[in-house]
Amino acid sequence: MTAPTKPPHSSPSDALSGASQGEDLHAPVIDWFDAHARDLPWRRPEAGAWGVMVSEFMLQQTPVNRVLPVYEQWLARWPRPADLAAEAPGEAVRAWGRLGYPRRALRLHGAALAITERHDGDVPTDHAQLLALPGIGEYTAAAVASFAYGQRHPVLDTNVRRVFARAVTGVQYPPNATTAAERRLARTLLPEDVPTAARWAAASMELGALVCTAKNETCGRCPIAAQCAWRLAGKPEHDGPPRRGQTYAGTDRQVRGKLLAVLREAHAPVPQAALDRVWHEPVQRARALDGLVSDGLVEPLPGGLFRLPLTPPHPKSP
């Protein structure tokens, strides 16, 4: 992504309101990003739109340090969507490794199939066409259009939502789910200049990832600390609905992960007995396996055998 011409700095103000909100934030945040952005492979020009899309799927609910090695292996094996589309979906699940939430692998495989069939193997540039791909939601379509193609779209991930909640709304955390009010605010804050808007999307996300973090935020390093409504209000504690936790030990997610690990390591169908050994509680184990089958991550075979899927879990979209 090429750095855009930077807008002129605005004078800091303690009250961010109306049209001045975005103008007071854009320049300092983009300048900070220019100086402090991480050198990540999906930000390099050679990544292309497919590399950006792969990264966006992998980074959902997964930290960068866990994504990096899997991303590199994935792009080396499948440098274009058609390369992935030519493989069985189970190979995508296998290559996903222990990133977690493996349905993302199936969705990425489904998107690769659709890109190959509908767009001659090229990730579409049109936002509506991106949104029409299977497995692509509001956030991912906007992120690919913005980060890969330099377009003007509000890109609202958890990090951006937290920055906006604190800097503008004056609360510690955003709501558990994205609201219409957040979308309106994001559109209000979006720079009018297209290249600047794309840079702003990446910069505000990086600020949330590195400085305005969920815990132990470092306001002393923040380029907009002097304008932050939450800091100016004395950093009041969150008083909304309880924030969702990320428990894992003992959950069905953990059992699903153990079952999938057996199947990823095997290159032939696996008997039920091999899966039974990974978890002591039979009811939870059976529930987890049923869920994997229902999600299309595991294919049951005659004779009590199981394997990673060889066929897409759903019919191809028209």
Question: Do β-strands 270-271 and 299-301 pair in parallel, antiparallel, or remain unpaired?
Answer: unpaired
Q: State the pLDDT at residue 20.
A: 60
Helix or strand holding residue 307 (H, E) = strand 305-307
Q: Give domain status of residue 7, yes or no.
A: no
Phi-psi label, residue 184: left if phi above 0, alpha if psi -120 to 50, beta otherwise: alpha
pLDDT tens-place string over residues 90-108: 999 999 999 999 999 999 9
Same domain, 167 and 126: yes
Domain's final residue, options 170, 205, 233: 233
Q: State the pLDDT at residue 313.
A: 62
Q: Give domain status of residue 315, yes or no.
A: no
CATH number of the domain enclosing 201: 1.10.340.30
Domain's final residue, options 233, 262, 279: 233
Q: State the pLDDT at residue 16.
A: 45
DSSP string for residues in 15-53: ---TTHHHHHHHHHHHHHHHHH----GGGSGGGHHHHHH
Angstrom distance (rounded) from CA 251 to CA 263: 19
Strand order in the sheet with 305-307: 270-271, 305-307, 299-301
Q: State the pLDDT at residue 245.
A: 65
Q: Give domain status of residue 9, yes or no.
A: no
Same domain, 33 and 139: yes
Both tokens of residue 32?
A: 């900070």
Catalytic residue among 23, 56, 206, 299: 56
Angstrom distance (rounded) from CA 30 to CA 1: 13
Domain of residue 261 covers 252-307
Same domain, 134 and 191: yes
Q: Give domain status of residue 264, yes or no.
A: yes
Q: State the pLDDT at residue 314.
A: 54
Q: Give domain status of residue 6, yes or no.
A: no
Same domain, 227 and 263: no
Same domain, 185 and 293: no
Same domain, 192 and 258: no
Structural domains counted in the chain? 2
Q: Give domain status of residue 10, yes or no.
A: no
Same domain, 99 and 55: yes
Position 166: which residue type? R
- Give catalytic status of residue 56 as yes or no: yes
Ranges under pLDDT 70 in the chain: 1-21, 245-246, 313-318
